[in-house]
């Protein structure tokens, strides 16, 4: 009987509070119906059990009818409300409808479409807070991309709005790198990194002199290999006798410093001569080498080395 009571309590409309509702209900029951008072008692009456309960419920409904609304609970906005992924399902269905609707609009070749940064699966999950399945998201985003190929002049507003939840807030493809200027002394500045070394190089047209931390090349790098790798960008592009290099290098060892310097010089060279970027990239001077020392792990002697296995 107590469970029944709880069920009845749950059924009551939200805005009203039980404390006031029950007495009024009881009073109204008493006043309007001729149902016996025992029906609401906790002790079970021996006879006409069911009939009493139904009559009580009826009484309750009839009492609440006039008080607030006709619904016992608010209607969900979306039919997908009770599914696991209501938002995603809504937008998926919407996108599918759009795709069906605008399937015949002329499209651009994918290479001609302006690049859009779509949300990745993880990003989408985080924004809507639903654990979207990878497969579903993949099919959805394929449809979205297909819709995005519609010619921009004919793109309906509806589609634009429909695609919005899948776009990243910031389109990274619109970012423009900050141009590095050549300063009033004809110098261009480049920064390079490798391992834990950082190099800053100032490149100015000259006769091929090099000063690293104020020292000539042979004092800065004892190994000829290092000297060569430091000036690799200039050497491969045959610009060694056209520029003077003034550089500051710090951190790491000699190899790291030399290769950081190679990157810095290449970047500074690109400022003077932008068409050299591709050959320099091919020479391996533009890309930052991401390899660094792997961290040591707990339970290991080094990063990967395990302690020697000992029987017992």
Q: How many residues does the chain have?
A: 312
Rounded to an integer, what distance in angstroms lies between the CA atom of residue 126 and that of residue 139? Answer: 19
Locate the DSSP E strands across the chain.
187-194, 197-205, 210-212, 215-216, 243-250
Per CB under 8 A, 18 contacts other proteins = yes
Task: Using CB under 8 A, pick the residue from 211, 273, 277, 289 that binds other proteins.
Answer: 211
# binding residues, other proteins (CB under 8 A): 34
Scan residues 95-124 and list those touching other proteins (CB under 8 A): none
Query: Exactly one of 153, 157, 169, 238 binds other proteins (CB under 8 A); which one?
Result: 238
Binding mask 156-195 for other proteins (x = CB under 8 A): -----------------------------xxx--------
CA contacts within 13 A on the Cβ side of 64: 23
Query: 210 and 202 in contact (C-beta within 8 Å)?
Result: no
Among 99, 127, 168, 246, binds other proteins (CB under 8 A): 246
For 282, half-sphere exposure in the C-beta direction (CA atoms, 13 angstrom radius) is 6
H or E element in which residue 232 lies: helix 232-236
Q: Does 207 bind other proteins (CB under 8 A)?
A: yes
Q: What is the Cα–Cα distance from 45 to 94, expressed in whole angstroms?
A: 56
Neighbours of 208 (CB within 10 A): 13
> Which of residues 86, 156, 206, 279 is near other proteins by CB under 8 A?
206
CA 195/CA 251 separation, integer angstroms: 9
Residue of the chain from 154, 219, 287, 306 that contacts other proteins (CB under 8 A): 219
Min dist CB 245 to other proteins, Å, is 9
Using CB under 8 A, which of 79, 214, 250, 253 touches other proteins?
Answer: 214
The two three-digit tokens of residue 174, written as one number: 């619109």
Residue 225: CB minimum distance to other proteins, A: 8
Residues that bind other proteins (CB under 8 A): 17-19, 185-187, 202, 204-211, 213-214, 216-219, 224-225, 227-228, 231, 235, 238, 240-242, 244, 246, 248
């Amino acid at each position: 009987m107590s469970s029944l009571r709880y069920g009845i309590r749950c059924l009551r409309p939200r805005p009203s509070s039980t404390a006031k509702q029950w007495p009024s209900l009881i009073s109204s029951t008493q006043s309007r119906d001729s149902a016996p008072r025992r029906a609401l008692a906790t002790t079970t009456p021996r006879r006409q059990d069911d009939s009493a309960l139904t009559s009580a419920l009826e009484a309750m409904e009839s009492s609440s009818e006039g008080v607030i609304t006709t619904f016992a609970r608010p209607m969900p906005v979306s039919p997908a409300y009770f599914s696991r992924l209501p938002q995603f399902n809504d937008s998926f269905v919407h996108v599918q409808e759009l795709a069906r609707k605008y399937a015949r609009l002329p499209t651009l070749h994918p290479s001609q479409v302006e690049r859009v940064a779509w949300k990745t699966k993880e990003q989408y999950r985080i924004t809507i807070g639903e654990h979207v399945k990878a497969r579903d998201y993949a099919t959805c985003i394929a449809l979205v991309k297909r819709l995005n190929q519609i010619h921009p002049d004919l793109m309906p507003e509806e589609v634009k709005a429909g695609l919005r939840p899948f776009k990243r807030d910031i389109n990274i493809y619109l970012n423009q790198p900050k141009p590095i200027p050549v300063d009033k002394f004809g110098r261009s500045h480049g920064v390079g990194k490798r391992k834990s070394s950082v190099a800053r190089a100032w490149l100015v047209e000259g006769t091929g002199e090099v000063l690293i931390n104020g020292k000539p090349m042979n004092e800065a790098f004892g190994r000829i290999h290092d000297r060569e790798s430091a000036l690799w960008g200039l050497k491969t592009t045959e610009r060694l006798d056209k520029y003077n290099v003034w550089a500051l290098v710090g951190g790491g060892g000699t190899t790291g410093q030399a290769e950081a310097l190679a990157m810095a010089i290449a970047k500074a060279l690109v400022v003077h001569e932008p068409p050299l970027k591709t050959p320099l990239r091919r020479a391996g001077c533009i890309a930052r080498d991401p390899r660094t020392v792997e961290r040591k792990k707990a339970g290991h002697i080094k990063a990967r080395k395990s302690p020697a296995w000992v029987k017992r």
